[in-house]
Structure 1
Amino acid sequence: MAIFTVISFVLAWAIALPLWLGEGLRSPLANLLVTTMMFVPTVAALTVVLVIEKPERKAEALGLVPLKPAGRLIGYLIVALFLTIALCLLALVVGSLFGVYPADFTHFSGFRQITEMQLAQAGSTELPMPIGALVALQFLNVLVSALFINLLPALGEEIGWRGWLLPKLLKYGPWPAILISGVIWGLWHAPVILLGHNYPGTPGWLALLAMVAFSTIMGGLFGWLRLRGGSVWPAALAHSTLNAAGSLFIVFVAENGRFDPLHGNITGWSGWIVPAILLLVLVVLGKFTPFAPTAKTTEEHSYG
């Protein structure tokens, strides 16, 4: 685990170094480098599995299999997709209740304002369709991004964090596994968080502390999906969906509304409340354990 962690951190900093030496997140290479960085945990896990551990079932050691029972896997993939979207939306509701996210859930005034400004820059003066249809398209965009665009980079992280690392930590118990993996995952983001990613304008130490808390809570839920779903795929889809649905704040913000991501949205403390409660319930109910198919279950799904 130490070797895996060192490789993950060293490679992440190495990839992000051009941003530190150049224009930071304003660099034209920023998106490419951040995306490349997401594959580092898989490289670290592959190195440990292929060079050090050398298990017989390498794909299983990485969490890529088993894919049976197929019905259970599909069920947890569906949960991963829609639960993550729901948590992102609930984060906006809770943020609105606490007064840290200026919301307009009925008229979408801020989204209309942003869209009209973008159209004006393109030389247009009218919305191409009703605002409700544009909102629906944003949700469709989330689904497309989650299922097709973000999935591979998210898998690049999840093979390392939840596919390989989390099961290794379970021997210490659920809470230590959640906390240790969450802290490692959060600190791993330091090369880009300290440049302003996710928490622009926030002091570096506070932004990194927030990222650790956010990663611990959401990573715990991703871990539950990985353990109960039987493989890393539900966790990867949840991660992919989070990266897509985290931008839904644009749809529901009030006109001229501004907020601090340290306080509002799924990245802020108000957005952690519902996921944290859900994670607590899952652990207390004993659900943070690997799914172990019975002989009967394996036989019933042997052709699935």
Structure 2
Amino acid sequence: MGVLVFVVVAFGLAALLDVFVFLSGGLRGQDVALVWGVVRMYTPAAAALLSGYKWYRVRRSIGLRLVAVYLLAPATVFAALGLFVVLLTASGNYNPDRLMGLFASLQVPLDAATALLLVSVNAYTAAITLNALFAFGEEVGWRGFLQERLEAAGLGFVKASVAVGAVWGLWHASAIILLGYNYPDNRLAGVVLFPLFTASLSIPHAAVKKLSSSILPAASLHGAVNALWSTSILVTDLPIELAGLGPLAALSWGVVSLAVYAVMRFFKSWEGRSGC
């Protein structure tokens, strides 16, 4: 019952907000989009609280492992983006002209490598600071409440992670349809594609939470996705439905997810043998 209440409340609050913004003229201007995004990201936290989530479970002493996982979690996004660029290059679809054009419009003369480095540094800084704070609201709901409830109900780690990822993506459906979020040109396709994308990157979020026993690293990872993954649409001419938020992105994240899962299993196995 708790899971059902959570899903209904999280989806309902988000949809009400989307309808309000839609009737108010849509996502016009950065200020409106920012406020909408931040408020919306905390609807899963509100739903978790109303579904019986105990806020004291968020608190945890700050130990070396938590800090390390928190700071390293965003590296997962860099790995996925790197693989994404490799796949683009191998298929002949890598083209950084849009990224370079962005810097040119800012009158910043940089080569492609320097531009990517600058984007990466800025994205990482945002990921572990403001973006993590914003993403925290979602992670309380997705990994803090829903993941734990599904695993407690008998789903294994992988199945629960993929299920949470699918719900996470479907939660965006009203924003995609009403506001064109992420898929302005193909909204109905986006309702199908985005859950596939979020399902493909859900395992790393759940893994860093399990490794650290805290949702904070999941928030820094989520913050890194929000800060960095938009670069994926700037390095190819392929439509977003095929590349940055489509099958190519899901494939990249799927491979990285397998690697992260293997690392998690290794550390858990090592802890079991060492008695930690």
Structure 2-normalised TM-score?
A: 0.84
3-state SS, counterpart of residue 150 of structure 1: helix
Pairwise CA distance, 1:292: 11
In structure 2, the gaps of 5 or more residues are none
Q: Deviations over 1:179-234 (max 9, x none)?
A: 321221111111222232122211x3310111110111112221111112211111
Of structures 1 and 2, the larger Rg is shown by: 1
Aligned to 2:188: 205
Report 1:182-221 matches (<5 A).
182-194=165-177, 195-202=179-186, 204-221=187-204
Percent identity (aligned):
25
Taking the aligned partners of 1:291 and 1:22, their CA distance within structure 2 comes to 53
1:59 pairs with one of 43, 56, 64: 56
1:92 pairs with one of 85, 97, 101: 85
In structure 1, the gaps of 5 or more residues are 120-126, 298-304
Q: Deviations over 1:127-185 (max 9, x none)?
A: 46777655433222112211222111111100110011101111222243123212211
Aligned to 1:122: none
Aligned to 2:75: 82
Taking the aligned partners of 1:288 and 1:32, their CA distance within structure 2 comes to 41
Aligned to 1:169: 150
Judged with a 3 Å threshold, the aligned counterparts in structure 2 of structure 1 residues 95 and 193 are, in CA distance, closer, same or farther, namely farther
- The answer to whether 1:271 aligns with 2:249 is yes
Moved over 3 A (4+): 65-68, 109-112, 127-136, 280-286, 288-297
Judged with a 3 Å threshold, the aligned counterparts in structure 2 of structure 1 residues 7 and 86 are, in CA distance, closer, same or farther, namely same
The count of aligned residue pairs is: 269
Taking the aligned partners of 1:291 and 1:226, their CA distance within structure 2 comes to 16
Aligned 8 A contact 2:128 2:220 in 1? yes
- The answer to whether 1:43 aligns with 2:46 is yes
* Higher normalized helix content (fraction of residues): 2
1:32 pairs with one of 24, 30, 35: 35
1:17 pairs with one of 11, 14, 19: 19
Q: Partner amino acid for 2:94?
A: P
Aligned to 1:142: 123
- The answer to whether 1:113 aligns with 2:101 is yes
Judged with a 3 Å threshold, the aligned counterparts in structure 2 of structure 1 residues 283 and 131 are, in CA distance, closer, same or farther, namely closer
Taking the aligned partners of 1:159 and 1:200, their CA distance within structure 2 comes to 28
Aligned 8 A contact 1:85 1:242 in 2? no
Aligned 8 A contact 1:182 1:215 in 2? yes
- The answer to whether 1:155 aligns with 2:136 is yes
